Homo-oligomer: A and B are copies of this chain.
Amino acid sequence: MTMSNGGAGGRRKPPTIHDVAREAGVSRGTVSRVLNGGHYVSPAAQEAVNAAIRKTGYVVNRHARSLITGRSDSIGFLLTEPQEKLFEDPNFNVLLRCCTQALAAHDIPLLLMLAGTEDERRRITRYITAGHVDGVLLVSSHSADPVAEELREAGVPLVQCGKPMGLGSKVSYVAADDRDGARDMVRHLLSLGRRRIGVVTGPLDSPGGVDRLAGYKEVLTEAGVEIDERLIVSGDYSRASGEAGAERLLSQAPDMDAVFVASDLMAQGALTALRRAGRRVPEDVSVGGFDDSSAATESTPALTTIRQPYDRISNEMVRVLLAQIGGEDPAAVILPTELVRREST
């Protein structure tokens, strides 16, 4: 009994608010009011309009709406990483999925934007500042991203994933508690009786990398374990850098009995290096990761790691962004992490 939306082939012209109004016996204005919250509309009209919408199969024309409201009712998901990252890092994928779903709950479409090259970056910045999206979810492990600054100056609502460098107060961000997560992991390694604990850090020009290292040092100091610079090397979150990092640690400090690797992907690389060096995990060396990405369960042995709550992070990012679009001030949200014990420790 519902509308049979035309036969095969050819797209029929969709019904407008006018058709709905005629069908319901009311004016355009009333239909519009029903569509936008239904305040100051009589129950009878409300009912008639809803029935007419169902009958005609009406769906609002977002372009017409946007033209007058100035909003686009869509938001951009911007990745400023070089593109290989997207391939390699499972975290991005989870984040993307969760953000898409969080936005879908608000009926807001997500536009995927990849700014790998300088050209793309310009094109996208231009697109965004032209007002084609209402706000931007920004993912970039390079902190102090020039794009962030540029968008902020243009007055574009923006939420960053992960703590940004420098003038943090003016830009919104959502991040996991890196320092606390690192503390948990190192405490866990200590509790296993390990004392020669190495670390492969993240990039030290990013707050995330710095904080995880800080947590590591803090706990060791508290426990009265001497901090040995030969046990500290830095990576860039990539698998390859984890492998190289572990190799370096093994040569600098052959007596290492545990290693905290600041991302699961790097930890996978570290496992490879350790295996090649003939160290058994976890018997000879305990390995702790960070993220709880799919890499953690895929590797053998499965990684003990620090879980970043990506679902909550995504939801918060969307919540903060929408609030900011609604006129609220930028906000920072830090979410707790959780130790997940598996086979590698």
Write the residues of chain A forming the contact surface with B, with a CB cutoff of 8 angstroms. 2, 4-12, 14, 59-64, 66-67, 72, 74, 77, 83, 86-88, 90, 93-94, 96-97, 100-101, 104, 107, 109-114, 120, 123, 126-127, 129-132, 152-157, 170, 239, 268, 272, 294, 298, 300, 324-329
Contacts and interface: CB of A to CB of B under 8 A. Distances in A.
Given A9-B154, A61-B130, A104-B123, 14 more contacts: A4-B327, A8-B329, A11-B155, A63-B63, A63-B64, A64-B67, A87-B94, A88-B294, A100-B114, A101-B114, A111-B112, A112-B112, A239-B298, A272-B300
A327 B7 contact: yes
Contacts of A94: 87
Contacts of A12: 155
Contact of A87 (B83, B90, B157, B324): B90
Contacts of A328: 7
Given A6-B155, A131-B11, A96 B72 contact: no
Contacts of A90: 87
Contacts of A11: 131, 154-156
Given A11-B156, A239-B298, A329-B7, A59 B110 contact: no
Contacts of A87: 90, 93-94, 97, 294
Given A4-B327, A94-B87, A294-B88, A111 B114 contact: no
A323 to B, nearest CB: 11
A9 B148 CA distance: 13
Contacts of A93: 86-87, 93
Given A8-B170, A104-B114, A298-B239, A2 B327 contact: yes
A340 B323 CA distance: 50
A330 to B, nearest CB: 8
Contacts of A107: 123
Given A14-B131, A126-B59, A5 B154 contact: yes
Contact of A155 (B8, B153, B298, B327): B8
Given A9-B152, A9-B155, A59 B100 contact: no
Contacts of A111: 74, 109-112
Nearest to A92: B93
A229 B5 CA distance: 48
A90 B66 CA distance: 36
A68 to B, nearest CB: 9
Nearest to A329: B7
A129 to B, nearest CB: 8
A63 B72 contact: yes
A264 to B, nearest CB: 12
19 contacts: A2-B327, A5-B155, A7-B327, A11-B156, A14-B130, A59-B127, A60-B130, A61-B67, A61-B131, A63-B72, A67-B67, A86-B93, A86-B97, A87-B294, A88-B294, A104-B120, A109-B111, A112-B112, A268-B298
